[in-house]
Amino acid sequence: MRILMLGNSLTFANDMPRMLAQLTGAQVVHHTRGGARLSEQLNPKTRLGTQTQTALSREHWDYVILQEMSHGPFSSPERFFASARQLCAQIQAAGAAPVLYATWAYQKGSTKLAAKGWNYDEMAHGLAEAYRTAARENHALLAEVGLRFYQLADTQNLYAADGVHPSEAGSRLAAETIASVIQTHKENQP
């Protein structure tokens, strides 16, 4: 099994692709850059876009995981929906299953959340709804990592010191959630 992960530091933090490989037994490749948006993965004029477009058109993947910039689905939903639509169509045309890696709100009480002037619950629910909508509209699988963060944030240390990135436990939770979605999908295939 081969998995391609498209994202940014929320994907590569704590070497999460390695964690996913260990959980799934798959070869996991990631095309990431800190701060990258999914729209960059579509743009052949960027290094990341060229790399991703080549991989999608010339290599076989079983699953392609899509992770948008941390607040993108909440602050720029139309841009997120357009990128998800284009990437999901490419991925499905190549015979792979797209998986939306739904990320989390900034940590409750964090300086980053305060600097943006956002409410924790509003950001968490806004992100979750945007990812659910994109998954439904594009017939994509959905790994609701943000929902798991929301459910466990008061009892587990899932955030790095910056209140945005995951701690090692947060990355482990993300890998486990994604692996569970992939495993369930594989079990339900004819």
| Residue 152 scores a pLDDT above 80 | yes
How does DSSP classify residue 159? Answer: B
pLDDT value for 154? 84
| Residue 153 scores a pLDDT above 90 | no
CB-based contacts of 84, cutoff 8 Å, min separation 6:
38, 66, 68, 100, 134, 138, 140
Confidence of residue 57 (pLDDT cuts 50, 70, 90): very high
pLDDT value for 176? 98
Do 130 and 80 contact (CB within 8 A), yes or no? yes
Domain span at 157: 2-187
Do 65 and 178 contact (CB within 8 A), yes or no? yes
Which CATH number does the domain housing residue 68 bear? Answer: 3.40.50.1110
pLDDT digits over 1-54, tens only?
A: 999 999 999 999 999 999 999 999 999 999 999 999 999 999 999 999 999 999
pLDDT digits over 100-127, tens only?
A: 999 999 999 888 888 889 999 999 999 9
Confidence of residue 189 (pLDDT cuts 50, 70, 90): confident
Mean pLDDT of 74-80: 94
pLDDT digits over 11-25, tens only?
A: 999 999 999 999 999
Q: How many domains does the chain have?
A: 1
| Residue 67 scores a pLDDT above 90 | yes
Compute CA 19 distance to the chain's CA centroid, rounded to the nearest angstrom.
15
